DNA sequence: CAAAAGCGAAACCAAAAGGTTTCGCATTAT
DNA sequence: ATAATGCGAAACCTTTTGGTTTCGCTTTTG
C-alpha cells in the first residue's frame, strides 16, 4: 500500500557538487558508467553510488546495453524545484508583492505576530 | 586575504527540509529565535544551528533587538539556484532545443562520444 | 574457451550532519 | 537587586554521507 517513497528527494540529490556535475555531463548525452567516471577524480564505484542517488530522485534513468549500463538525464523532477523556487521569486523581483507584504504586516501583539499560526499550512515547503 | 568563502552554499542550505520550512516561515515575517523554534519539534539550539547555516548561505539575515535576535529571509541567493535550473528547463519544455540535441548526437566512435572532452567547461555546475 | 571489460553489492572507514544538554552572558521585567 | 528571558558556544552522541577496496557475475573480445 505504501507509495514507493523514494529515499532521496530532488533537493538532497542536487545538494552534492559531484551530482550536479553528473547531471551536467549527462545532459550532453547518454553515457555508460565507466565513461562517466573518467570525468571524476574518484572511483567508478563512488560515481556509481552517486548515480543511484540521482536515479532514486528520478533525475537519471539507466538502461542496459550489452554489458554496459547507460545513464541519461531525466529533468522532469527538477520541475518540483522550479515550483518551490517560484514562491520565492516574488521576494526579489516583484516589487508589488513586496509592497503588499509590508502593508499587511503592521498589526497586533507578539503572541499573534510570532505565534504558531497557520504559517506552515501552504505546501511550498518540502 | 582569502575571500569569506561561505562554508555552506545555497544547494546545501536548502537540502534540509527543516531549513526549507524556516525559509517559508521567515518569508512571512521577521522573527526572533525562540518564536521561530516554537514551530519545530526540536530544541531552540538545533533551530539556531539551522539558522546559522542559512545565514552562511546568505539566505537569512539577523539583527539584534534588545535581547532578541530577529531573523528575516534574504532571497537573493536563490537566484543562483534559478540560474542553475534555467539550464535544465530546456530539457523539459523546449521541444526545439531537444530536437537540436538529438540531431547533433549521431556521430563518431566511443572514444570521441564518451571521452573526457570539453564537457564540463561551462559553469552551470556547482 | 580464456582473458578482459563493465558493473553492482558488500564490508569497511573517516568525516560531516543533525540532534541533545549544559553553561554563561546580556538584557529585560518584577 | 533578583529573577526570568533570549541566545550562542561547547561538549557530546548517533546516523548519514561520501569515499575506498575487494569480490563475483555477466558480457564481450581475442
| HSE of A97, CA atoms in CB hemisphere, 13 A | 11
User: Are A29 and B84 in contact (CB < 8 Å)?
Assistant: no
State the nearest Cα–Cα gap between B89 and chain A, in angstroms: 8
How many Å separate Cα B112 from the centre of its chain? 34
Q: pLDDT-based confidence at A113, cuts 50/70/90? A: low
User: Coil, strand, or helix at residue B70?
Assistant: strand
Check whether residue B35 has its CB closer than 7 Å to nucleic acid strand D: yes
Domain with CATH 1.10.10.10 in chain B: 10-73
Give the span between the Cα atoms of A64 and B104, in whole angstroms.
23
- Tens of pLDDT, residue by residue over A66-110, are 999 999 999 999 999 999 999 999 888 766 666 665 565 544 556
Q: Any chain A CB within 8 A of the CB of B83?
A: no
Nearest CA in chain A to B112: A35
Query: Is the predicted pLDDT of residue B125 greater than 70, yes or no?
Result: no
Report the pLDDT value the prediction gives residue A8, as an integer from 0 to 100: 84
Report the pLDDT value the prediction gives residue B90, as an integer from 0 to 100: 87
Report the pLDDT value the prediction gives residue A105, as an integer from 0 to 100: 52
Q: pLDDT-based confidence at B123, cuts 50/70/90? A: very low
Which listed CATH number (3.50.50.60, 3.30.420.10, 1.25.40.10, 1.10.10.10) goes with A10-73?
A: 1.10.10.10
Segments of chain B assigned E as strands: 31-32, 60-65, 68-73
The helix, strand and coil proportions of chain A, stated in percent and rounded to the nearest 5, come to 50, 10, 35
Instruction: Count Cβ atoms within 10 A of the Cβ of residue B24 and give its class: 0-12 exposed, 13-18 middle, 19 or more buried.
Output: buried
Check whether residue B18 has its CB closer than 7 Å to nucleic acid strand C: yes
Cell of B32: 526572533
Cell of B115: 571521452
Do A22 and A54 contact (CB within 8 A), yes or no? yes
Query: Ramachandran region of residue B58, left (φ > 0), alpha (ψ -120 to 50) or beta?
Result: left
- Tens of pLDDT, residue by residue over B51-104, are 999 999 999 999 999 999 999 999 999 999 999 999 999 888 766 666 665 665
Check whether residue B50 has its CB closer than 7 Å to nucleic acid strand C: yes
Report the pLDDT value the prediction gives residue B104, as an integer from 0 to 100: 58
Q: Answer with the residue of higher pLDDT: A99 or A45.
A: A45
Report the pLDDT value the prediction gives residue A53, as an integer from 0 to 100: 98
Report the pLDDT value the prediction gives residue A73, as an integer from 0 to 100: 97
N- to C-terminal Cα separation, chain B: 23
Amino acid at each position: 500500500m505504501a507509495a514507493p517513497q523514494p529515499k532521496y528527494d530532488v533537493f538532497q540529490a542536487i545538494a552534492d557538487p559531484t551530482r550536479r556535475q553528473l547531471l551536467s555531463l549527462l545532459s550532453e548525452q547518454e553515457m555508460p558508467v565507466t565513461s562517466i567516471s573518467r570525468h571524476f577524480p574518484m572511483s567508478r564505484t563512488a560515481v556509481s553510488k552517486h548515480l543511484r542517488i540521482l536515479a532514486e530522485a528520478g533525475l537519471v534513468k539507466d538502461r542496459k546495453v550489452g554489458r554496459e549500463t547507460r545513464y541519461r538525464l531525466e529533468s522532469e523532477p527538477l520541475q518540483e524545484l522550479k515550483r518551490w523556487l517560484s514562491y520565492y521569486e516574488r521576494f526579489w523581483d516583484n516589487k508589488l508583492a513586496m509592497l503588499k507584504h509590508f502593508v499587511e504586516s503592521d498589526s497586533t501583539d507578539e503572541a499573534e505576530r510570532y505565534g504558531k499560526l497557520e504559517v506552515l499550512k501552504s505546501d511550498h515547503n518540502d
